[in-house]
A and B are shown apart, each in its own frame.
Chain A
């Protein structure tokens, strides 16, 4: 694994999928991890004991729990230089481990709550961005200290669901907020709106194949694409737009492949770069209540059907079979380069 590719994968912060057979050779180079809450009926303060948090998929295909048990995990990221440096966002805010998950520290104080996403800049790996219900925080020292960086964000609409860092340039970040996509090119010192929306932008992703190509999905305004690095956005009418779209993922080995996870519309895939989309819910539980989709290093498409078993597909959604993690809601899929320290 070369460094550039490693940085690329970390920057994506989500699965970099590929199709079944052709990409098998790439599989050993990555680990496949998820952040999952397996806590059906859990209520804050209840005595239900379940295992939640980060899970690593081992060579046998089983999910192994990593780190601590957190019922409120929402996202996670690694330092691209050092896989022992792990960040998780949770109800408590932002946690960090410097030793592979043995010891953890809450990085924020009481002023910040309910971390929703975390991203590490691959070109400035000490720089950590934290998405919050009321804005965005930044750290220049691996989250030892956090500060608000919100200049240019709106007074109303700072709710930030997703962060995506442009792997081509340090300090260039796109944020999915309540009323649109916001862009910073100076590490959060200044933000400007590049796409207005009426409701939350749920996910923003950069293509692993073409850094100028970005894709975003929204609560109520469907899917959007950008061909100029996120500066301008074009609606994607062929993607479902009548129900919330929760996330989008690219396929790392197939430039034209993408998948969307939707509440009410389930899994949809595209194999032509997002021009056309196909319903891929046959074989999944009824209701199409998909929390998130991701693709593992072997090209398998995964779908987290809320509080059902995780499902996987070896043919990019044409057929499905149950995987594991009954009762789970996967909040994030992530590929981690095995070659990282």
Chain B
């Protein structure tokens, strides 16, 4: 249950490291799409150098505390100060901490330093892998880091007995167990869906191990799988971004990125791979372990185009799965159905609601594009604030009663708060069609909490409460119509903006977004929304019948399947990916990535990458 959020680390790093980070502090990057492959590659390598130079320079002579694993990996990647790195590494290996968050940095250091580190430094690393017993963890990202690191180090030190390893297993046993887990996870992800999907922070905890495998695995098949999974993860990310910002529903995000959409580790990858947003502070913190090997990877052009082309509007669909459920569930992993609608001005994304992930789930939002996202809360959404031991028992094996309090000191400070904006609810059902979201809530009496919270940003250009019951707003070049289903009040937010608090258990939200350019005026937009057919009923259970701005007739009733244009909606045929850019059938292990004439097919069953330019 306990896990260290990347953000927490980034914050730890941030105060001393925020100085003089060129792209973090500098102007917005030129987001012009770079057509020339060599220029695109050169820009990528330049960004790598920027991060490495900055991090390597953080080590100050005579100040050992400034010379950590991150500085060592940066210096070794730049092939500088090997002697000092060796000396410092020997010291650091005496007090290993951090579990799998220690394993992958040390793995990167060892591989980068194979021809640079002193024998004594290598021996210190070797001894640490015998004496220090890291936790394997309890989440997919933990296991990705643990097993990719163990795979590579067992590969590096083959034929050694169990006594030489922290876990008592021989090199061969560790290698085989790691390989088997990694293959299992890759197959599960590419046939059934990722469990920790679309995380604004934990994307790095997958990308870094996969890059390390793609770079240092000696088995060509594992190297290929590593590259393919990187493509897979980054395609999954790129297609749901708006100027590098990860949008829509996330398995996990945090209280900061929830509001300031750019401010997540994922934006570091937007900066590095797409070049269309600034990096987050300290290059994402852990980002140094990606850039240290990043020259060994090249984002395929087709994914680059998907991430940077917002000329057209598109709807994108994904199927994921929940984290492992231990209790309170009929299934080990329930399906997650995601919808994301993207334009150049705004994006609308959602899942189907319910408790899909513990604590840090984000189920839906509207995000609008901004000239510079730093410090901007460019999003609007509502949630049904919920916490319970029922939720924690579902996803964690520990005794539940202590967890609600403890998680608040583990990087999730709002978990038990009535004003929380983060987290899923078993009492919320969501349906999205195009850029319309209908969220219905039916909270039983006595549950935590019988209300709906709506987030209204300080950065909305305008907000108007209309006599019709709609709240009209504008963010950037997006118009947003927000309809609470029950009476509400306003509460100020410390971070700016305000919270719509609607203290009624039978409740919900309708949101309809549109581009400013679609209307002659603000008044025209409001008139158009007012004219849309709408029926709201809260008793005996919430029900909405709404004709969207796009002409779809939606009927949503809590506890029942949605009805679209008279037809009951059926999730059974939902694909792993579906849309103009990414397509994959459930069970196929094959992802087709398309942009214009470019096509890349990742076939995990044959471990092949097939590129073609369509005629």
Q: Which residues of A contact B (CB under 8 A)?
A: 41-49, 68-72, 90-93, 95-96, 103-106, 109-110, 113-114, 116, 133-134, 155-157, 159, 178, 199-200, 202, 244, 246, 263-264, 289, 291, 306, 329
Contacts and interface: CB of A to CB of B under 8 A. Distances in A.
Contact of B3 (A44, A48, A109): A44
B162 A109 contact: no
B329 interface: yes
Nearest to A71: B135
Given A43-B4, A110-B180, A263-B399, A48 B143 contact: no
Interface string B385-410: 00000000100010111100000011
Given A46-B97, A134-B332, A291-B399, A113 B327 contact: no
A264 B402 CA distance: 10
A47 B135 CA distance: 13
B323 to A, nearest CB: 12
B418 to A, nearest CB: 21
Contacts of B550: none
Contact of A45 (B98, B177, B400, B401): B98
A306 B100 CA distance: 27
Contacts of A44: 2-4, 99-100, 135, 137-138, 142
Given A44-B4, A47-B97, A92-B167, 9 more contacts: A44-B142, A69-B133, A71-B135, A92-B136, A103-B162, A133-B326, A156-B330, A244-B399, A263-B402
A185 B357 CA distance: 38
A46 B133 contact: no
Given A44-B138, A159-B326, A70 B133 contact: yes
The 8 closest A-B pairs by CB, nearest first: A105-B168, A45-B4, A110-B181, A45-B101, A133-B326, A133-B397, A263-B401, A47-B97
Contact of A41 (B142, B402, B409): B409
A148 to B, nearest CB: 14
B184 interface: yes
A41 B137 CA distance: 16
B133 A244 contact: no
A42 B4 CA distance: 9
B327 A178 contact: yes
Nearest to B97: A47
Contacts of A96: 168
A43 B411 contact: yes
A106 B173 CA distance: 11
A202 B400 CA distance: 11
B15 interface: no
Contact of B410 (A43, A110, A114, A178): A43
Contacts, number: 112
A103 B163 contact: yes
B130 to A, nearest CB: 10
Interface residues of B, number: 43
A263 B102 CA distance: 34
A106 B326 CA distance: 22
B95 interface: yes
Nearest to A331: B399
Interface string B155-172: 000000011000111000
B147 interface: yes
Contact of A105 (B8, B167, B177, B393): B167
Main secondary structure of the interface of B (DSSP, over half): loop
Contacts of B332: 134
A276 to B, nearest CB: 26
Contacts of B135: 44, 70-72, 90-92
A91 B136 contact: yes
16 contacts: A41-B410, A43-B410, A45-B3, A46-B4, A72-B135, A91-B135, A109-B181, A110-B143, A110-B181, A133-B397, A134-B324, A134-B326, A200-B327, A244-B399, A263-B401, A289-B402
Contacts of A178: 327
Contacts of A114: 138, 397
A144 to B, nearest CB: 11
Main secondary structure of the interface of A (DSSP, over half): loop
Contact of A49 (B97, B329, B411): B97
Given A159-B326, A244-B401, A306-B402, A47 B98 contact: yes
Contacts of B409: 41
A157 B331 CA distance: 10
Contacts of B169: 105-106
Interface of B: 2-4, 8, 95, 97-102, 133, 135-138, 142-143, 147, 162-163, 167-169, 177, 180-181, 184, 324, 326-327, 329-330, 332, 393, 397, 399-402, 409-411
A46 B98 contact: yes
A69 B97 CA distance: 12
Contacts of A156: 329-330
Given A44-B4, A200-B327, A110 B162 contact: no
A255 to B, nearest CB: 29
Give the interface centre of A69, A92, A155 by most chain B CB atoms within 10 Å: A92
A1 to B, nearest CB: 30
B285 to A, nearest CB: 12
Contacts of B397: 114, 116, 133, 159
A45 B100 contact: yes
Nearest to B181: A110
B86 to A, nearest CB: 22
Contacts of A103: 162-163, 168
Nearest to A246: B399
A202 B399 contact: yes
Most chain B CB within a 10 A radius of its CB, from A96, A109, A329: A109
A113 B240 CA distance: 33
A113 B138 contact: yes
Nearest to A49: B97
Contact of A48 (B97, B138, B326, B329): B97
A178 B390 CA distance: 12
Contacts of A133: 324, 326-327, 397
B402 A110 contact: no
Nearest to A116: B397
Contacts of B168: 95-96, 103-106
A105 B138 CA distance: 19
A110 B4 contact: no
Contacts of A47: 97-98
A96 B168 CA distance: 9
B476 to A, nearest CB: 37
B4 A49 contact: no
Contacts of B8: 43
Contacts of B163: 103
Contacts of B138: 44, 91, 113-114
